[in-house]
Chain A
């Protein structure tokens, strides 16, 4: 049960990070490092993309 809740929390947190990164991308801003990390995106690689 506890594991289920924890998994659910992880999914929600990943979702939140994806939404935050999407919002930053839309506004041409650099997303927060913690959000990128949660999604497994390397910050340096993201910075290299010409947005």
Chain B
């Protein structure tokens, strides 16, 4: 059977009323968290993990994916109308989008963002569906050493390659790896780093850590900030519809944004926002109306909005086919799979095709729901922003602790939440990225297990890692991903220096 048949079957699964309801809840929640500053999709999924523990696995995963897609839509609305991106992937939308809104062209800006997101989501989800079977075919031959090499690659790209500092990325990663060692060793049953505390024997709960990092750390950081602005909503004036001219100027950026965003999302690069910045740069270079950039060019909204949705679908490619998370949100979604005893990867396509293809197909449905949900309901979403910040963050912390208490009602677990929250605050303060510590905690034990398996097969011979061509290539890529950015960064510093020299002249 080919992808097409599977996808049709998946659509049948995803159109069951219960699944449709889960998808609807997911996209609605996702749009809401996209609109609200301070909560992103990663945090929302982390908060929902303990709550969905008893629900249907397929339904819960469909809901999580809906949240991810919805977050990408919701952020654009507030970017355009308020110059306040709810999500870092929508920052660039605010640049041109808010200018358009101020000129009374808010309607077309919102429309090109929503339609562009829809088209990008549609193309990228279909790409995901048609690429997945071939990647799965390759991945089926993967043994422990190939998986270990893959995880090393993920560690390097998430921490060293794509942050702004290899030192801080690696530090965050190694803290995650150290935390991952806590608890009973999977192979020998010895307690590691538990210092006789029984609560530590089970290891660090991924959800506690994620909620602490994303909710508590972020709330502390925002509360401590000195600058505060008041938001002013720019009312949508003029026609909501795009003119023929708008359509003509939008369709190419939509396609280009998709082409940029999808591979960036699929690469272990972390975050959908990188694609949005690249798309903006590309549109500015290619536009026939350069004078409009900075004053509300529709291309500057259409391209990046398509890119961030395509990235979201791209992220799911390595997550579903290889079990490899490439961003914080994907890492939390992996924890969601694991909570139901499922391990995403090639085997899941074989053992549980109904679930995987139902999930992929539900993305198509969620995408269509989002288009319907977003355009007419913009007024409602904007109202969400009138919730005062103090109630908003107090509510966020209420639900953050609810998830932790619900999973394990002990003061010790809450103490961990507080400790990791403070850690997250300090990390934010000093510019440490958060994704590597989460990815390290989740992938660390898996990488260790695969390495020990690979070396037991080879009876302790380390060269086995390089004898498999796939593992060798992956490890080579990891080495490149570590070294090349170091050189690029050094070059970047050189550019700054020459710039400064030029300024002094």
Contact = CB atoms under 8 A, between A and B. Distances in A.
B205 interface: no
Contacts of A22: 88, 271, 273-274, 277
Given A19-B164, A45-B95, A50-B231, A26 B273 contact: yes
Contact of B83 (A14, A34, A39, A48): A48
Interface stretch (B122-130, B445-453, B492-500): B492-500
Nearest to A40: B284
A20 B294 contact: no
B280 interface: yes
Given A18-B281, A40-B285, A45-B95, A50 B84 contact: yes
Contact of A49 (B95, B163, B164): B95
B294 A26 contact: no
A49 B278 contact: no
B433 interface: yes
A42 B231 contact: no
Contacts of A45: 95, 99, 294
A19 B221 CA distance: 22
B425 to A, nearest CB: 12
Nearest to B435: A26
Q: Is the interface of B mostly helix, strand, loop or mixed?
A: helix
B305 to A, nearest CB: 15
Given A19-B274, A23-B164, A39-B280, A49 B433 contact: no
A19 B271 CA distance: 9
Nearest to A35: B492
A51 interface: yes
B278 A15 contact: yes
Nearest to A26: B88
Contacts of B92: 41
Interface in B471-505: 485, 488-489, 491-492, 495-496, 499
Nearest to A9: B491
Contacts of A32: 496
Contacts of A18: 274-275, 277-278, 281
B85 A49 contact: yes
Interface size class of A (residues with CB under 8 A): 20 to 34
A15 B92 CA distance: 15
Given A16-B485, A40-B293, A50-B229, A34 B495 contact: yes
Nearest to B165: A23
B29 interface: no
A9 to B, nearest CB: 9
B82 interface: yes
Contacts of B99: 45
Nearest to A18: B277
Interface in A3-51: 12-29, 32, 34, 38-42, 45-46, 48-51
B280 A25 contact: no
B499 A28 contact: no
Contacts of B281: 14, 17-18, 38-40
A45 B434 CA distance: 27
Contacts of B488: 12-13, 16
Closest 6 CB pairs of A and B: A18-B277, A40-B284, A23-B164, A22-B273, A39-B281, A50-B84
13 contacts: A14-B278, A14-B281, A15-B274, A15-B278, A17-B492, A18-B275, A23-B162, A34-B496, A40-B285, A41-B95, A42-B294, A49-B83, A49-B85
Interface of B: 79, 82-85, 88, 91-92, 94-95, 98-99, 162-164, 221, 225, 229, 231, 269, 271, 273-275, 277-278, 280-281, 284-285, 293-294, 428, 431, 433-434, 485, 488-489, 491-492, 495-496, 499
Given A27-B433, A29-B431, A39-B281, 6 more contacts: A19-B274, A23-B164, A32-B496, A40-B284, A50-B84, A50-B231
